[in-house]
Structure 1
Amino acid sequence: MNTVQIILIALFVYLGAIGSIVGNTIGWYTLGRPLVASFVVGLIMGDVPTAMLVGVPLQIMYMGNVTPGGAVAWDLSYATYIGTAGALVFGKGMGTTEVIGLAVLFAGIGGLVGGVMWNVSYALNLPLNRIANKYAEAGETKKMYIPNVVFGQLIGFACRFIPAVIVLSSMTAASGQGDFASMIPGWVTTLLGVFGGMMAALGMGIILSFLLKKQYHFAVFLVGFILVTYFGLSMMGVAVVAVITAVLYFVIVDKLSGRE
């Protein structure tokens, strides 16, 4: 990675966070999603196909990611942006399973760093409450944007951009030496790839546990699975079949109920 690529990826690590300057809708719920993050990294590094190859399993892995009470075990945007970048940097010439394994490895590193910096940002934001309280007591409510927006964003930017630059620069330096990838045994990357597949299955299972409320819902899910696996339909093709089936179902139900 060159300097511009490192800066851009680190910038998106910040933009994809909760409470970034672009807001949660564009930031956390869009740029912070693993599939979007992988696509952005692929554009920046000029290898979208490989980026999306690792983005899909990362997206499924972190589908069940929740932050109960604000507790963060890992940071999602840190994990996916750095994980995808690491896979693109060190995964050249490797097979699919090995590349995904590298993505899982670097996602773990990035997520761990992000989790630490999340708690650091919490601590640094505590004094801002006192500043805002002083403005409120003085009746200077128009100045409350200074601690809440200006200082808050500066802390968030510093806690995400700077560590991300350090991690990405370290990865680039290691790749320049040419011996980092050789230090990782093949069985480790294969194991990580398999583990990533297991985590993807777990994430999908968590999502299905929320979606499948009745027994026949599972049959509908299996129909979609069969259409993709055995009939080779794309996601768009399955979606079209689902829409047609839904329309026919409601038309038949309306006729049987005598609404027409």
Structure 2
Amino acid sequence: MIQWWQILLLTLYSAYQICDELTIVSSAGSPVFAGFVSGLIMGDVATGLAIGASLQLMVLGVGTFGGASRIDATSGAVLATAFSIAQGIKPEIAVATIAVPVASLLTYTDVLGRFSTTFFAHRIDAAVERFDYKGIERNYLMGAIPWAASRAVPVLLALAFGGSLVESLVAGVEQVQWLANGLTLAGRMLPGLGFAILLRYLPLKRNLHYLAFGFAITAMLMVVYANIQGLGGAVASMLEPVNKLLPEDAAVAFSNNFKGLPMIGIAIVGIFLSVQHYKNSQRTVVAAPASSVESEEIEDDEI
């Protein structure tokens, strides 16, 4: 059961996240951040991060240009996390049955929010002609209302009235084992789909060596740290009989949690390559083109 204060906080966050994405851009509107906040509100941060990270990977290669709309994975992460924790739904099934359909449906409210703001845009144009600076500021801030409502209202209605519907839907899905297994598999495949979309739009043809290098570094670091984790487990098992002979306050504690180390190693390698690329770009002098007319061709890494 989702409590009223949890519904209120999730609704307020949903209203804020889209405004943050359009203005401040602090990453508070990203799916993984939405999973973290929703998990914190619902009391299970691990489940929230698992769902948010899955949706974040799914939309890695998805972007918008101009007035284009895309699926709202952030709101999908909010609802999937809330219902997954409140009703004990597996994260993979929550992603496939709740997050993805919600993210797709909220494309329509995104369009509604976009064209609703044109009302305030015309008022701003009129205020500019009158040199009404207060009117410009006021209408600019009021333009955030339809944007916030485009996310807050659907999330509020779903959390307040959709609990029984989601519960019956998931219960029916889990009774059909092959369907539940298929949705679980689909939920686990979505991050891979996100990577495939991202790789499709990256300039891989001329940077294939970097892709191979990153794959090799990842594989090697995972092997190295897996061995370190095994070594830590062996040391912990060796200390266990010693601790039995010692007083409780003198026991030697040992933690062998090395699960985050591969990503730390990859991040360090990434920072090193970024710094090297920056230094090389500072030293490189690009010659001016012979023609006075600047080329308007868009390179594949500028899309």
Contact kept, 8 Å, 1:86 with 1:103, in 2: the verdict is: no
* TM-score of the superposed pair, with normalisation by structure 2: 0.68
> Relative contact order, CA 8 A, sep 6+: which one is greater?
1
AA matched with 2:12? L
The equivalent residue for 1:216 is 209
Question: CA 1:3 to 1:61, structure 2 compared with 1: closer, same or farther past 3 Å?
Answer: same
| Kept after mapping to 2: 8 A contact 1:20/1:156 | no
Aligned in 2, Cα 1:39/1:227: closer, same or farther, shift over 3 Å?
farther
The Cα offsets for residues 58-106 of structure 1, whole Å up to 9 and x where unpaired, read as 221111121133321412322221222232233x2x6xxx421222321
- 1:26-41 to structure 2, matched below 5 A, reads 26=26, 30-41=27-38
Report the counterpart of residue 159 of structure 2 in structure 1.
168
1:111 aligns with 2:103: yes
Identity %: 22
Pick closer, same or farther for the CA change 1:244–1:15 going to 2, 3 Å: closer
Partner of 1:227: 220
Give the superposition deviation at 1:245.
7.9
CA distance in 1, matches of 2:272, 2:113: 49
TM-score, scaled to structure 1 = 0.78
Q: Equivalent of 1:56, from 53, 72, 84?
A: 53
Q: Distance in 1 between matches of 2:21 and 2:108?
A: 21
Give the direction of change, closer, same or farther, for the CA distance of 1:22–1:214 in structure 2 (3 Å limit). Answer: closer
CA contact (8 A) 1:83 1:104 kept: no
| Structure 1 pair 225–193 and aligned structure 2 pair: CA distance change class (3 A) | farther
Consecutive unaligned residues of structure 2, counting only runs of 5 or more, are 227-260, 278-303
Deviation string for 1:41-70 (max 9, x for gaps)?
A: 110000111222222222211111211333
Give the distance between the partners of 1:107 and 1:190, measured in 2 at CA. 17
CA distance in 1, matches of 2:65, 2:272: 37
| Larger of the two Rg values belongs to structure | 2
For 1:36-115, list aligned pairs within 5 A: 36-90=33-87, 92=88, 98-115=90-107
Higher share of residues assigned helix: 1
**Alignment RMSD (CA, Å):** 2.9
Report the alpha carbon displacement of residue 168 of structure 1 after superposing the two structures with TM. Answer: 1.4
Which runs of 5 or more structure 1 residues have no equivalent in the other structure? Answer: 251-260
CA distance in 2, matches of 1:146, 1:21: 20
